[in-house]
Structure 1
Amino acid sequence: MSGLGSPVRAYDFLLKFLLVGDSDVGKGEILASLQDGAAESPYGHPAGIDHKTTTILLDGRRVKLQLWDTSGQGRFCTIFRSYSRGAQGVILVYDIANRWSFDGINRWIKEIDEHAPGVPKILVGNRLHLAFKRQVPTEQAQAYAERLGVTFFEVSPLCNFNITESFTELARIVLLRHGMDRLWRPSKVLSLQDLCCRAVVSCTPVHLVDKLPLPVALRSHLKSFSMANGLNARMMHGRSYSLATSSSHKRSSFRKARVAHPPQSPPRNCTRNSCKIS
């Protein structure tokens, strides 16, 4: 709970993904393999729709995924059309041991382009653990994905292979499309040596580095670090300017003091007792 009593949000981004494909290609197996997923939904959903949520870590950001498994049966096409609205990503699933499920991907792409045009997609060949029954060669599926312009994965829920990786890649594609890359642009992590150099350079002018009681190689590295990063110019500029200003001010004051005329002596006919202080 936060200080105002409102609940702390447990994620940075919320995305809605649809798993589409013919029936019996293992979409439910993919959802079941997510150990940290929650099967319950805050909203009621009709038969033919399975829902699960999971949270992945993408470049240090928590991305919560709402995964909707639409049944591949024809009588649920209307449900798919309604649930495709608002989807940010689509996972096209086929069974590598079922040639007919791979040929049916074209039909699902037409449905997606009609009801959710422009939504990012990835192609997933499921049940890699049944490779000894393979009916769809990897090279053919890869070439098909390249023609579609989508990323291709072969996954295995039984071995938990490439499940999270495929979701993570689709989330990255979606967030990049929405211009969210600037929110997690990685920053440079300074090494211990860089931190020490930064601390020394921040309080030492570059022309005084040679006078430090340090080895020659280390002094040379400090000067190179200062010039390469521009730290000395930024950190010492204000300090040097103030010193120069104060020294010039002192010199000008000294000149004024030298040219100032000494106080004139009182006239001879004036006595101390007759002077009045006004």
Structure 2
Amino acid sequence: MTKDYDYLLKVLLVGDSDVGKHEILSNLEDPTTESPFCSNNAYKTTTILLEGKRVKLQLWDTSGQGRFCTIIRSYSRGAQGIILVYDITNKWSFDGIDRWLKEVEEHAPGIPKVLVGNRLHLAFKRQVAAKQAESYASRNNMSCFEISPLCDFNIRESFCELARMALHRNGMEHIWRSNKVLSLQELCCRTIVRRTSVYAIDSLPLPTSVKSTLKSYALTTSQCFNSLTQNSKSRNRCKTPTSSSRNSCTIA
């Protein structure tokens, strides 16, 4: 069965019980499903597009009660990211982040974290300054976002940043960086060159500048093909290069 994602990341949302963690997840396209492991937890899945790769997030929403100590022990080992949530209209919820952060660091040290200030649409009731939150996040090596589920503001951005940090921590960033989606120009060049020859490009009803780009692309592609052909021929002479011969025989 073909997977509908390239990477799967497990993320925990933590914070006091009244900071609006459920609000953050409520507008996501996937339906909320009760966790089969804990009736007090709910988890939701959503898929984001990051550098041309589909990253599926399992978002676990906790109740925010003291029972979280047990929850973090149970689930932190498989989690790749933490979203620490506070309410910008409730200073106590921001002060409580210290407690949550200590729990996370005790049971999942070094895990990527993002600090999220919820309910930006109620900024006229603000009790936590944005600069205060940014300073706190900087001291604790976290990214910081202020979000609004009501306006659908910065929610995806915070998820993308956490996913990027998690992939980087697990050494996977080189994979999706090297497989970026091709630009529209490159796709067009590839399609045209594949259906014609370098010499026939001049006869195409295209502007001179476009023809020049196509010729350059065609010649570059041809040179790459020739290089690959030469390397293919050399495989018969050097199938299992030793450490002393790697510099003189490169296998494509």
- Does the alignment reach a TM-score above 0.5? yes
Matches within 5 A, 1:72-87: 72-87=64-79
Q: Check conservation: 1:40, 1:51, Cα contact below 8 A.
A: yes
Q: Structure 1 residue 78: deviation in Å?
A: 1.7
CA distance in 2, matches of 1:222, 1:50: 57
CA distance in structure 1 between the aligned counterparts of 2:225 and 2:50, rounded to whole angstroms: 35
Q: Which runs of 4+ in 1 moved over 3 A?
A: 191-201, 221-237
Deviation at 1:176, TM superposition (A): 2.2
Q: Is the 8 A contact 1:92 1:121 kept in 2?
A: yes
1:131-182 CA-partner distances (Å, limit 9, x unpaired): 0100001111112112222111111111221112211221121112222233
2:152 aligned counterpart, secondary structure: coil
Match for residue 140 of structure 2 among 134, 148, 155:
148
Tell me the distance in 2 between the aligned counterparts of 1:165 and 1:41. 25
SS state at 1:85 partner: helix
Counterpart check, 1:43 vs 2:36? yes
Q: For residues 87-140 of structure 1, what are the alpha-carbon distances to aligned partners after superposition, in whole Å with 9 as ceiling and x for unaligned? A: 100001000001111111111111111100111000000011110100001111
> Which digits, 9 at most, give the CA deviation of each residue in 1:217-259, with x for residues without a partner?
959x74995499645655689xxxxxxxxxxxxxxxxxxxxxx
Select the residue among 22, 25, 28 that pairs with 1:31: 25
Match of 2:36, as an amino acid?
Answer: Y
Are the equivalent residues in 1 in contact too, given 2:73–2:107 (CA < 8 A)?
A: yes
How many aligned positions are there? 222
Secondary structure, aligned partner of 2:103: helix
Amino acid corresponding to residue 107 of structure 2 in structure 1:
H
Give the structure-1-normalised TM-score.
0.68
Unaligned 5+ segments in structure 2 are: 228-252
CA gap 1:229/1:100 in 2 versus in 1, 3 angstroms: farther
Aligned to 1:165: 157
Give per-residue Cα distances to partners, 1:22-75, cap 9 Å, x unaligned: 1211111112122x122124724232x222122222233222211111222224
Identity, in percent, stands at: 56
My pick for the range that moved more, 55-64 or 99-108, is 55-64
Report if the CA contact (8 A) 1:89-1:120 is conserved: yes
Return 5+ residue gaps in structure 1 as ranges: 1-6, 238-278
Q: 1:100–1:13: structure 2 CA closer, same or farther, 3 Å change rule?
A: same
One-letter identity of the residue aligned with 1:161: F
Of 57, 62, 67, 1:65 maps to: 57
1:254 matched residue in structure 2: none
- 1:97/1:236 CA distance change after superposition, 3 Å: closer
For residues 186-206 of structure 1, the C-alpha deviation after alignment (integer angstroms, 9 at most, x for no partner) is: 2553164686578543x69xx
Opposite residue 116 of structure 2, the aligned amino acid is V
Distance change (3 Å), C-alpha of 1:28 and 1:193: closer
Matches of 1:227 and 1:14, distance apart in 2: 36
SS state of the match for residue 74, structure 1? coil
**How has the CA–CA distance of structure 1 residues 44 and 138 changed in structure 2, closer, same or farther, with 3 Å as cutoff?**
same
Query: What does residue 103 of structure 1 align with?
Result: 95
Match of 2:250 in 1: none
Q: Which of 9, 14, 18 is residue 15 of structure 1 equivalent to?
A: 9
